[in-house]
Amino acid sequence: MSFVFQPPSAATVPVTDGRSFPVHRIYCVGRNYAEHAIEMGHTGREPPFFFMKPADAVLPVAEGDLGRMAYPPLTQNLHHEIELVVALGSGGRDVPAERAAELIWGYAIGLDMTRRDLQNEMKKQGRPWCIGKAFEHSAPIGAIHPKATTGELTRGAITLDVNGQRRQTGDLSDLIWSVNETIAALSRAWTLAPGDLIYTGTPAGVGAVMAGDTLVGAIEGLGELRLAIGAE
Ligand code: MN
């Protein structure tokens, strides 16, 4: 085939076994922990809703590394959202929740980095969130742990520290919509495919980070994701 220009290589995320996981799409779940929904001014009892980031928004951080995210343009209120990321190894449509776990290939720790000031402005105007959510490097992610080694993750602590101070804390069992229910709901709206990543929502305690901050996210069974904000 003759291309107009060389097609870009796929975005990838390292796997703990040394291989790479090619990213197809990034789905994100909004307000999926009750306390976070309440802190954002909602009831915590809404049906699940979704937004997306481009696949090349991933900022992969290998196990044991300190990743680095440049402070993005246009914002003065860059927020952290620590999230369990589910990596799909197979896809489908209209997947029942009882079979959804079969699609899961692995899990990772992710950060849904958000230009909150821009997102809030878009919300106020009834406009799309893309400028607040779907910018470059807005999806830092640690190594993917195969489900074959972790088992199905349905509980366990999820935390985020900034400069050694605990900011966010929750438990995967607090998800309003479980991973399986989320996969089922997504598959009614989109055709899920191998390589899809699902950022499953963040617990309470979101807040701003500044250049020079160091973030450490942790999920029981998945180790840590370490990220420095700002240029070296
Ligand atoms: Mn989020």
Per-residue pLDDT tens over the stretch 186-209: 999 999 999 999 999 999 999 999
Q: What is the pLDDT of residues 56-87, one digit of tens each?
A: 999 999 999 999 999 999 999 999 999 999 99
Distance of CA 4 from the midpoint of ligand 1 (Å): 36
Per DSSP, the three-state class of 93 is coil
Paired with 150 in beta bridges are none
Please indicate, yes or no, if residue 1 is contained in any of the structural domains. no
Please indicate, yes or no, if residue 127 is contained in any of the structural domains. yes
- For the chain, what is the domain count? 1
Please indicate, yes or no, if residue 112 is contained in any of the structural domains. yes
Distance of CA 174 from the midpoint of ligand 1 (Å): 15
CB 131 within 8 A of CB 74: yes
Distance of CA 184 from the midpoint of ligand 1 (Å): 19
Please indicate, yes or no, if residue 34 is contained in any of the structural domains. yes
Confidence at residue 147, expressed as pLDDT on a 0 to 100 scale = 98
Distance of CA 133 from the midpoint of ligand 1 (Å): 9
CA distance 93 to 116: 32
Distance of CA 123 from the midpoint of ligand 1 (Å): 15
Distance of CA 71 from the midpoint of ligand 1 (Å): 18
CB 182 within 8 A of CB 198: yes
CA distance 152 to 178: 12
Please indicate, yes or no, if residue 4 is contained in any of the structural domains. no
Does residue 231 have a pLDDT over 90? no
Distance of CA 152 from the midpoint of ligand 1 (Å): 21
Domain residues for 119? 12-230
Distance of CA 25 from the midpoint of ligand 1 (Å): 15
- The pocket of ion ligand 1, defined by CB under 5 A, consists of 81, 112, 202
Q: Is the pTM for the entire model greater than 0.95?
A: yes
Please indicate, yes or no, if residue 217 is contained in any of the structural domains. yes
CATH number for position 116:
3.90.850.10
Please indicate, yes or no, if residue 7 is contained in any of the structural domains. no
CB 192 within 8 A of CB 99: no
Q: How many CB atoms lie within 10 A of CB 20?
A: 13
CB 109 within 8 A of CB 218: yes
Distance of CA 205 from the midpoint of ligand 1 (Å): 12
Please indicate, yes or no, if residue 6 is contained in any of the structural domains. no
CA distance 79 to 111: 10
